[in-house]
């Protein structure tokens, strides 16, 4: 998601400092962003403006002076809070902090920050350059200045915000991730193939890509992490990841990014 959000911002002329602490991922980051920009252009999803400058770093301290910091790391509440606190200490009181969490309540993260009023949830969907609507979550302590800053950024990125209340999974993940889990369970039980499930959901119910193709796009590892968050915070057994999802994650079948999930993606890696 960090790569996808970066490509979206750069394509709209917004300068971006991309920070990744993993040297291997950092080394390939520019190529991944370039690939996303090329795809966006081929799909007619790029505005006719000069690209924003892209700088890549491995040090959080380099974000000093940023107006907005977007956290887009793994769905681990403790790790997210740690990274957000590190960024907060660098950028100062006037910057907005954005978490791209798909399921962790904004207040849960804000409660661990010295300036909880600066944290806003913005759930960008993947691929960010194609999906123009974003879910925006205002936590109980989110302040107006942070909301205004985020609104200006989303306008610059050509995104349409839909404002929702805080809570586990917000709206999209609370609805979608359980549905994906149920779809995977149907396949696990041998009642239909992944293709059958997606075809029925597309052609009968109007789901644009089908839940299992969507799961591959999200990343099955990310999906399982999010389902565990939902299960732990709601107690809903329907959110406990089914064994088929867990097995695919154990086997490294994470979806598009790994080349295989419910479907195969030759040359994707």
Same domain, 153 and 83: yes
Same domain, 11 and 141: yes
Strands (E), 79-237: 96-99, 119-123, 133-137, 160-164
Helices (H), the chain: 2-11, 23-42, 77-91, 106-110, 144-156, 172-188, 194-203, 211-218, 220-234, 243-250
| Euclidean distance between CA atoms 101 and 79, whole angstroms | 12
Does residue 269 lie in a domain region?
Answer: no
- Could you give phi then psi for residue 160, rounded to 5 degrees? -100, 115
Domain count, the chain: 2
Same domain, 90 and 125: yes
Among the candidates 164, 199, 225, a domain finishes at 164
Cα radius of gyration (the chain): 18
Same domain, 156 and 27: yes
- Provide the 3-class DSSP secondary structure of residue 53: coil
User: Which residue segment(s) compose the domain that 103 sits in?
Assistant: 2-164
Same domain, 123 and 47: yes
Q: pTM, whole model, 2 decimals? A: 0.90
Q: Using alpha carbons only, give the angle 117, 121, 124 rounded to the nearest 5 degrees.
A: 155
Q: For residue 250, what is the domain's CATH number?
A: 1.10.1040.10
Does residue 180 lie in a domain region?
Answer: yes
| pLDDT at residue 207, rounded to an integer | 93
Same domain, 144 and 122: yes
Same domain, 111 and 214: no
| pLDDT at residue 269, rounded to an integer | 56
Among the candidates 164, 184, 204, a domain finishes at 164
Does residue 267 lie in a domain region?
Answer: no
| Euclidean distance between CA atoms 173 and 75, whole angstroms | 12
| Euclidean distance between CA atoms 16 and 5, whole angstroms | 10
- Provide the 3-class DSSP secondary structure of residue 84: helix
Does residue 266 lie in a domain region?
Answer: no
Same domain, 128 and 14: yes
260: its two tokens: 């295989």
| pLDDT at residue 48, rounded to an integer | 87
Does residue 265 lie in a domain region?
Answer: no
| pLDDT at residue 29, rounded to an integer | 95
Same domain, 159 and 178: no
Q: Using alpha carbons only, give the angle 112, 56, 11 rounded to the nearest 5 degrees.
A: 95
| pLDDT at residue 264, rounded to an integer | 96
The residue count for the chain: 269
Does residue 268 lie in a domain region?
Answer: no
Q: How many CA atoms lie within 13 A of 151 on its CB side?
A: 9
Partner residues linked to 133 by β-bridges: 160
Q: What is the pLDDT of residues 181-212, one digit of tens each?
A: 999 999 999 999 999 999 999 999 999 999 99
Which residue positions in the chain have pLDDT lower than 50?
Answer: none
Q: For residue 29, what is the domain's CATH number?
A: 3.40.50.720
Same domain, 118 and 54: yes
| Euclidean distance between CA atoms 189 and 196, whole angstroms | 13
| pLDDT at residue 31, rounded to an integer | 95
Same domain, 31 and 63: yes
Write the DSSP assignment of 219-232 as a string of letters.
-HHHHHHHHHHHHH
Same domain, 31 and 127: yes
**Helix or strand run (H / E) with residue 261:** none
């Amino acid at each position: 998601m960090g790569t996808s959000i970066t490509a979206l911002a750069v394509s709209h002329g917004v300068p971006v400092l991309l920070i990744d602490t993993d040297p291997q991922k950092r080394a390939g980051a520019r190529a991944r962003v370039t690939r996303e920009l090329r795809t966006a252009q081929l799909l007619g999803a790029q505005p006719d403006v000069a690209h924003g400058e892209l700088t890549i770093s491995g040090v959080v301290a380099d974000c000093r002076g940023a107006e907005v910091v977007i956290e887009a790391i793994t769905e681990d509440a403790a790790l997210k809070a740690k990274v957000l606190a590190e960024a907060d200490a660098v950028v100062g009181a006037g910057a907005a902090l954005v978490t791209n969490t798909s399921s962790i309540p904004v207040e849960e993260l804000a409660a661990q920050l010295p300036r909880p009023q600066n944290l806003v949830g913005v759930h960008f969907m993947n691929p960010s350059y194609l999906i123009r609507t974003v879910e925006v979550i205002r936590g109980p302590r989110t302040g107006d200045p942070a909301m205004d800053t985020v609104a200006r950024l989303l306008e610059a990125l050509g995104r349409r915000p839909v404002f929702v209340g805080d809570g586990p999974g917000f709206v999209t993940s609370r609805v979608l991730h359980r549905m994906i889990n149920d779809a995977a369970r149907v396949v696990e039980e041998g009642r239909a193939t992944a293709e059958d499930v997606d075809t029925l959901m597309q052609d009968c119910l109007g789901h644009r890509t089908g839940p299992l193709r969507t799961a591959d796009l999200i990343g099955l590892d990310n999906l399982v992490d999010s389902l565990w968050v939902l299960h732990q915070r709601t107690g809903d057994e329907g959110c406990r990841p089914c064994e088929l999802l867990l097995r695919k994650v154990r086997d490294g079948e994470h979806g598009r990014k790994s080349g295989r999930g419910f479907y195969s993606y030759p040359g994707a890696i």
